[in-house]
Amino acid sequence: MSHVNLPAPAALADGGLRLFALGGLGEIGRNMTVFEHRGRLLIVDCGVLFPEESQPGIDLILPDFGPIRDRLDDVEAIVLTHGHEDHIGAVPYLLRERPDIPIFASKLTLAFLEAKLREHRLPPVATAVADGERVGLGPFDVEFIAVNHSIPDAMALAIRTSAGTVLHTGDFKMDQLPLDGRITDLNSFARLGDAGVDLLLVDSTNADVPGFVPSERDIMPVLDAVFLRAEGRIIVASFASHIHRVQQIIDMAKLHDRRIAFVGRSMIRNMGIARDLGYLKIPGGMVVTPDELASLPDDECVLICTGSQGEPMAVLSRIANRDHAISVGTSDTVVLASSLIPGNENSVFRVINGLARLGATVVHKGNALVHVSGHAAAGELQYVYNVVKPRYVVPIHGEWRHMRANAAVATSTGIPAERVLLAENGVVVDLVDGSAAITGYVPVGFVYVDGLGVGDVTETSLKDRRVLGEEGFISVFVVVDIVDAAVVGGPEIHVRGFGAEEELIGPLMDQVSQVLKHALADGVDDTHELQQRIRRAVGKWVNSTHRRRPMIIPVVIEA
């Protein structure tokens, strides 16, 4: 439901349970949900969203902590479902505001988080939990349930309160032959369903995909064929957290007598953690440094790096731009072992085109089964709905098209449409006396990270950046004597982003001179008003003659 026309929520009824998302609804990223019960808060996940091309200069986008900033002392704990950046990446920024919030997550998730927190110089108050464990957190009783995803140790959460039981699936799928043998615990889902689940929060990412997601094992024959055909080096780009995919590449490299090297800071760090904890199995002598790999024949080399989403500073993007020590040629094969995150399409295709231009053979999900999704498709969601039999449903984790598709799947299994609550970030859902309803809206927005600045960049700033990047700018500097109604300095004009800047300066000086002449003759003695007149006149002329809308910065100084 859109927040338009929704009022601020009334006080939560005694004994009721309230929940609202500060990110993750209507988007894929920055997942964060807040639960409130008996005056205490529980936070599930706290992730980041990566910027799109329309957000120039932005490094990360955070959930908006505004609605809970005054209540951080009421937070019992942060509970994390798994170790992907869109679920844990914003934790350091929340801990800056209250460093002692307890954190509960699986062993691998905590290991990834702790490495991140060390970079921020934040010591966590963390507790590792295992499948099937139950933890009392104030008025919340949280049970951790194993689910299969594209990263080991992912968890669903059963949150029991006196108001009712909520099942939060986290990100999941139902691969029946996972590489690590850890399947989604449908027995626990069924057990909870038999006891009664009042509210089901369920992953929507692949709800518009019919059937079932293929098994991770289905990729192996395709990878084998890629390795057999490859004449030179093989470069594989993957998420730095996709341990299962990296394990498959290692196994295939072993089979084809190739050595491997990890490239990229996050890849090296995460694979080191995974190996130390036993989640990644690497035969002895297989891993070498990139420098050592360079001394081997090309047909004995595999490089595993970051950059599968076209991130500008990631290894693969820099290779494609010929801005890295590693270069590719006609004998090399590059494998993008990931799916496209919505919004990243242009960046990924730019990298693919750059690699193809250099002569490399590029294998990606569009032309080969080199990746399967970590999110349940519609057929798997139907199983969950039929097993859990929830009274109410809130689709989460997805864009609007995904959440609406998820709602349609829910109703197809017999759940009444009025019990499927579609919400966006900030929309409040209350569970009171066994009934769930949307009760209001708390204002939330986007919090942008730009370098060391957090929240300093606004939508207005981004609009200015887009204008500067797309339309250029014109600056006008002039000194006036208000008493004598005369221009005593300038106008000095600078034009950038037009291509033929010098040809514009003469006509622009004419425009500015005419504006100042008429304004001063009319008795205008306010420098701000003079600036506004210059801006309007120059903008009108540039738009009518060049069909451009540049940023215009007039500066008028009184002598």
Which tens digit of pLDDT belongs to each residue from 256-309? 999 999 998 889 999 999 999 999 999 988 999 988 888 899 999 999 998 877
Would you say domain 216-363 falls under CATH 3.40.1280.10? no
Q: Which of 516, 439, 512 has its CA nearest to residue 485?
A: 516
Mean pLDDT of 474-500: 80
Answer left, alpha or beta for residue 456, where phi above 0 means left and psi between -120 and 50 means alpha.
Answer: alpha
- Within 8 A by CB and 6+ apart from 187, the residues are none
pLDDT tier, 542 (very low <50, low <70, confident <90, very high otherwise): confident
The pLDDT-based confidence of 147 (bands split at 50, 70, 90) is very high
| pLDDT at res. 89 | 93
pLDDT tens for 419-465 read: 999 999 999 999 999 999 999 999 998 888 876 677 766 777 666 66
Report helix, strand or coil for 246.
helix
> Hey, is 104 helix, strand or coil?
strand
Do 77 and 103 meet the contact criterion of CB atoms below 8 Å apart?
yes
CATH 3.60.15.10 maps onto the chain at 17-211+373-450
DSSP state of 473: E
Identify the pLDDT of residue 1: 58
Fold exhibited by the domain 459-558: Ubiquitin-like (UB roll) (3.10.20)
Average per-residue pLDDT for the chain? 90
Give the per-residue pLDDT at 469: 65
CATH 3.10.20.580 domain locations along the chain: 459-558
Query: CATH number of the domain at 17-211+373-450, please?
Result: 3.60.15.10
Q: Sheet of 199-203: strands edge to edge?
A: 134-137, 140-146, 155-161, 164-168, 199-203, 392-396
Domain with CATH 3.40.50.10710 in the chain: 216-363
Q: Which residue has the higher pLDDT, 480 or 206?
A: 206
Q: Is 339 helix (H, G, I), strand (E, B) or coil?
A: coil
